[in-house]
């Protein structure tokens, strides 16, 4: 019985690798990336393009297997697409931005790349996360190949510097977090995550860490100094103000409102009646906790967003204790967050009047579908990496076993619908590349923990974070943490 099960698992894995190989596209005879979905049953739309965000899981797999050429080509060509000059036209992409996607176009026998910076996307939202994922992947390439000269090349140094200038520039904001519009990340439809969503902050932190490792000192002193200043402040801010557990919930529950000046404890003026305390009180296990989806003026988004929490664990943005508590929560609330298909992109879904107001009655984002509580198999690799990081690999193995047979039988769909992820997504594409790659990458990470450093970081020196905490306490005189 065990031999039969092993043989079947090996066959599914082999077919997944074959499907991944078919998704590779070529530019001027060289492999350059993977299409979003290899699905001939419906109109291609933009699923025949290479998405920066989507390609990361495939790229990590190629690095693990020693197929580094495709990742190198991808990094080089996307760097060429990055705008290098200031734009006077507000409708043009900003200097330093990376495209959401690109496609290979042929004209009179010549091939060129056509980039999309959101101009053609639904709702025309600029992809904030593309440049962050690009930096994370560049660092993974260097870790895998030990080819530091690649990142030290002047063109790459300039590309990193432009991304950092874009992220660290002065703005109408006085927090270390990154301010972004709704729909600017994986959740690319209106879901009420504008402001400082956790997903972007986790990726921002990892990108800052990557840039700090890759930038050489010569000519980059001011950028490096800005990164060194921002990292501990960002880390302390997220750990303090985004964290929710029962103790923290008790503190927020007793907040006073309308506080003014340096003695204020309720810094964001969060009103008690705006939070679902009694639902959280029932849902939060005693030994669990998580990072809130967003924190802003009079607002704390208490939905659980998987990508932001998992990447916070992987990148060491969350403390060791917080990371353990996040994984405890996932384990205790397995039926809600994982269900029959790993895993929910967010929980709970927006329903009723809240769904209508926040999403604008989005027919693709109906409750428990797509980005409104849908299940996304690509998150499997992040769950595996976070489980490995917190020494809870049995959770990853359980999730992989849960997903394996269904993903294969269902032709590797983009997402699943329903409270437990039992329904193939209403508009899900078949042979979604990052679904395939997410599954294979999860298996590789668990089989060989030595691959974890491709996406993981060591913890920031504690004295830096402690100083940042003291800075916030002294600045706001807060007892939040």
Q: In whole angstroms, give the CA distance from residue 189 to residue 434.
A: 19
**Over the Cα atoms of the chain, what is R_g?**
22
In a domain, 206, yes or no: yes
Nearest 5 degrees, angle CA 175-CA 176-CA 181? 75
pTM above 0.85, yes or no: yes
Q: In whole angstroms, give the CA distance from residue 348 to residue 367.
A: 9
In a domain, 258, yes or no: yes
Q: Does residue 322 surpass a pLDDT of 60?
A: yes
Q: Does residue 148 surpass a pLDDT of 60?
A: yes
Mean pLDDT of 205-209: 98
Are 335 and 419 spatial neighbours (Cβ–Cβ below 8 Å)?
no
In a domain, 273, yes or no: yes
Domain count, the chain: 1
pLDDT number for residue 466 = 66
Query: What pLDDT band is residue 269 in, cutting at 50, 70 and 90?
Result: confident
In a domain, 366, yes or no: yes
Tell me: the pLDDT tens digits for 244-257?
999 999 998 888 88
Q: In whole angstroms, give the CA distance from residue 97 to residue 218.
A: 23
Tell me which residue of 302, 270, 307 sits closest to 289, measured CA to CA. Answer: 302
Q: In whole angstroms, give the CA distance from residue 369 to residue 123.
A: 19
Q: What's the domain range around 53?
A: 2-476
Structure tokens at 367: 């409750």
In a domain, 111, yes or no: yes
Within 10 Å of residue 437's Cβ, how many Cβ atoms?
Answer: 30
Tell me: the pLDDT tens digits for 39-60?
877 777 889 999 999 999 999 9
User: Which CATH number does the domain housing residue 394 bear?
Assistant: 1.50.10.10
Contacts of 400 (CB under 8 A, 6+ apart): 380, 384, 439, 442, 443, 446
Of 139-143, 204-208, 254-258, 403-407, minimum mean pLDDT range: 254-258
The percentage of the chain sitting over the pLDDT mark of 70, rounded to a whole number, equals 95
Are 334 and 364 spatial neighbours (Cβ–Cβ below 8 Å)?
no
Mean pLDDT of 419-433: 96
What's the 3-state SS for the chain?
Answer: CHHHHHHHHHHHHHHHHHHHHHCEEEECCEEEEECCECCCCCCCCCCCCEEHHHHHHHHHHHHHCCCHHHHHHHHHHHHHHCCCCCCCCCCCCCCCCCCCEEEEEEECCEEEEEEECCCCCHHHCCCCHHHHHHHHHHHHHHHHHCCHHHHHCHHHHHHHHHHHHHHHCCCCCCCCCCCECCCCCCCCCCCCCCECCHHHHHHHHHHHHHHHHHCCCCCCHHHHHHHHHHHHHHHHHHHHHCEECHHHHHHHHCCCCCCCCCCCCCCCCCCHHHCCHHHHHHHCCCCCCEECCEEECCEEECCEEHHHHHHHHHCCCCCHHHHHHHHHHHHHCHHHHCCCCCCECEECCCCHHHHHHHHCCCCCCCCCECCECCECHHHHHHHHHHHHHCCCHHHHHHHHHHHHHHHHHCCCCCCEECCCCCEECCCCCCCEHHHHHHHHHHHHHHHCHHHHHHCCCCCCCHHHHHHHHHHHHHHHCCCCC
In a domain, 360, yes or no: yes
pLDDT number for residue 474 = 54
Q: Give the up-direction half-sphere exposure of residue 43: CA atoms within 13 A in the CB hemisphere.
A: 3
For residue 300, the cross-strand partners are 295
In a domain, 401, yes or no: yes
Tell me which residue of 416, 457, 433 sits closest to 61, measured CA to CA. Answer: 433
The percentage of the chain sitting over the pLDDT mark of 90, rounded to a whole number, equals 77
pLDDT number for residue 41 = 72
In a domain, 481, yes or no: no
Q: Does residue 481 surpass a pLDDT of 70?
A: no
Sign of CA dihedral 47, 138, 222, 204: positive
Tell me: the pLDDT tens digits for 123-137?
788 889 999 999 999
Structure tokens at 267: 């810094």
């Amino acid at each position: 019985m065990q031999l039969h099960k092993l043989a079947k698992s090996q066959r599914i894995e082999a077919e997944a690798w074959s499907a991944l190989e078919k998704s590779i596209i070529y530019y001027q005879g060289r492999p350059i990336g993977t299409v979003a979905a290899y699905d001939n049953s419906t109109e291609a739309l933009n699923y025949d393009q290479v998405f920066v965000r989507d390609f990361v899981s495939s790229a990590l797999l190629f690095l693990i297997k020693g197929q580094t050429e495709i990742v190198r080509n991808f990094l080089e060509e996307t760097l060429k697409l990055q705008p290098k000059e200031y734009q006077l036209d507000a409708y043009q992409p900003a200097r330093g931005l990376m495209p959401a996607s690109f496609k290979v176009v042929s004209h009179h026998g010549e091939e060129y790349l056509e980039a999309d910076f959101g101009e053609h996307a639904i709702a025309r939202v600029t992809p904030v996360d593309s440049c962050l994922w690009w930096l994370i992947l560049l660092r993974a390439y260097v870790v895998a190949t030990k080819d530091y000269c690649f990142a030290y090349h002047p063109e790459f140094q300039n590309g990193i510097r432009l991304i950092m200038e874009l992220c660290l520039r002065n703005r109408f904001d006085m927090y270390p977090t990154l301010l972004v519009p709704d729909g600017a990340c994986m959740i690319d439809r209106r879901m009420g995550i504008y402001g400082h969503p956790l997903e972007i902050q986790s990726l921002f932190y990892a990108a800052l860490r990557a840039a700090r490792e890759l930038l050489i000192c010569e000519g980059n002193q001011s950028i490096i100094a800005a990164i060194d200043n921002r990292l501990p402040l960002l880390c302390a801010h997220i750990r303090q103000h985004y964290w929710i557990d029962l103790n923290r919930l008790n503190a927020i529950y007793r907040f006073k409102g309308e506080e003014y000046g340096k003695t204020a404890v309720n810094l964001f003026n969060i009103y008690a009646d705006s939070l679902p305390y009694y639902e959280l009180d029932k849902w939060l296990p005693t030994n669990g906790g998580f990072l809130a989806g967003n924190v802003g003026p009079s607002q704390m988004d208490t939905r659980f967003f998987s990508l932001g929490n998992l990447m916070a664990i992987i990148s060491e943005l969350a403390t060791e204790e917080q990371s353990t508590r996040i994984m405890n929560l996932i384990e205790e609330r397995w039926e809600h967050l994982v269900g029959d298909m790993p895993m929910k992109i967010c929980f709970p879904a927006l329903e009723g009047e809240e769904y209508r107001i926040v999403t604008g009655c989005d027919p693709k984002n109906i409750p428990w579908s797509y980005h409104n509580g849908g299940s996304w198999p690509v998150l499997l690799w992040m769950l595996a990496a976070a489980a490995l990081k917190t020494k809870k690999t049995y959770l990853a193995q359980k999730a992989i076993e849960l997903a394996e047979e269904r993903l294969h039988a269902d032709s590797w769909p983009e997402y699943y619908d329903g409270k437990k992820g039992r329904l193939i997504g209403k508009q899900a594409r078949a042979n979604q590349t990052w679904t395939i790659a997410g599954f294979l990458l999860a298996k590789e990470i668990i089989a060989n923990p030595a691959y974890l450093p491709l996406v993981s970081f060591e913890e920031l020196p504690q004295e830096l974070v402690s100083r940042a905490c003291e800075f916030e306490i002294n600045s706001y005189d807060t007892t939040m943490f």
